[in-house]
Amino acid sequence: MASRVLIIEADYNFRSSVASHLRQAGFDILTAADRSGARAILARQAVEVVLLGLGGLGAGGRQLLREICTTWPRIRVITLNQNAQIDLSIEAMRLGAFADLMPPFELDALRESVRAAGTGDHPQSSGGTP
């Protein structure tokens, strides 16, 4: 059974692109543009992996990460740090993120990180494409 993945990202085009790629790879995808939409989905759907875009959510992204890690500790969160702020990535890992990806990243690396999170393999981090 494919992992159910919730993509929480304010940027519609980025969210749609990632969702499309992961659907083609066989993942069951749900999407939310903001914290309230994400909370509603998490309250009613079983989700194994969350892709959490930190850039568009501001400080609310870190708050949502804390909430997910506390309320739904079995969910593995992969943070997407579009602004490439290293301090934000470090804080996300400290708060309990499974992995952190900074675009631009290879879509294969994203797919592999989501697969690893869904199966509970060791976390990975990526600073983007060299």
83 pLDDT tier (thresholds 50, 70, 90): low
Three-class SS state of 5: strand
Q: Give pLDDT, residue 127.
A: 45
Give the pTM: 0.86
- The boundaries of the domain holding residue 37 are 4-126
CA-to-CA distance for 89 and 127, rounded, in angstroms? 10
Could you list the beta-strand ranges (E) of 9-120. 28-32, 49-53, 76-80, 99-101
pLDDT of 69 over the 50 cut = yes
pLDDT above 90 for 76: yes
Q: What is the mean pLDDT of residues 37-50?
A: 95
Does 76 or 59 have the greater pLDDT score?
76
Number of domains in the chain: 1
Mean pLDDT of 120-126: 54
CATH of the domain at 45: 3.40.50.2300
Report which of residues 65 and 57 the model is more confident about. Answer: 65
